[in-house]
Chain A
Amino acid sequence: MTRKYELVYVVSPEATEEQVTDLHTQVEAIVQRIGGQIEKTENWGRRRLAYEIGRHKEGTYVLEVINGGGELMKEIERRLKVSDLVIRYLVVRVDEDQAIMERSREARTATARRRRTARGLPPDRQPGEGQRNDADDDRDDRFDMGGMDRMDRMDRMDRDR
């Protein structure tokens, strides 16, 4: 049973580049040993942490997408927990969510196409078709805070008169 996992780990800012790549090869070795594969590796580089983690204010983020079983991830987690250089890590299983996403997207395009053909249009959107972008986009007032906003509008209405 192979599953897809995303692993993100934060390496201490004191670690050298070599140590970071070393950590990656260690993970790779475990993956190879237990029988899985690394689908993707991404190094996000050094980033500011949103909060301090044990005196550290920065960290190097590395993302690995791994295909494998639960046992494999257990082993990787154990190793990361032991390592002093890794200050934080997160393992998330993603295959199920991705499958759901795929399905909903397909369903959506299918209904869109069906509706379009019912209206006698070509199934796919033609370039230059559709609503023009409104200059007065109301995106920013999606988060209007109830009270403040109400006061503000009342003011405006008073002025208008």
Chain B
Amino acid sequence: MPPKRSFGGKKTRAGAAGAAGKDGQRRPMFRRRKVCKFCSDKIDDINYKDTKLLMPFVPERAKILPRRISGTCALHQRKLRTALMRARQLALIPYTTE
């Protein structure tokens, strides 16, 4: 049984479900709690010109990394999205690959 996914971005410290191992034993899963990069680094301005800042949020297929994975908070994910979309328009960041 896969561990329950939390969509809140807050990752469970010890994934409650704890995947059953090969031997059928339940063991606690330790997941590090994800935090919003922009909150912790106190970045107010998510700028579309700053590709270095944006690139980690653009995975290989050039989609926008969901906050379920990145742990970005709702406010900053929204700002990030607008920044990414502006950067895309200026061809600083791709829309797709291939």
Contacts and interface: CB of A to CB of B under 8 A. Distances in A.
B34 interface: yes
A8 B50 CA distance: 13
B93 interface: yes
Given A90-B86, A142-B70, A157-B27, A50 B92 contact: yes
B68 to A, nearest CB: 8
Nearest to B37: A142
Nearest to A92: B86
Contacts of B45: 97-98, 101
A104 B92 contact: no
A51 B94 contact: yes
A50 B29 CA distance: 40
Interface string B78-98: 000000001011111111100
B5 interface: yes
Interface in B27-76: 27, 29-30, 32, 34-35, 37, 42, 44-45, 48-49, 56, 65, 69-71
8 contacts: A8-B49, A8-B90, A10-B91, A50-B88, A88-B90, A97-B45, A98-B45, A104-B44
Given A143-B56, A154-B19, 10 more contacts: A50-B88, A53-B91, A90-B89, A90-B90, A98-B45, A105-B44, A142-B35, A150-B19, A153-B30, A157-B27
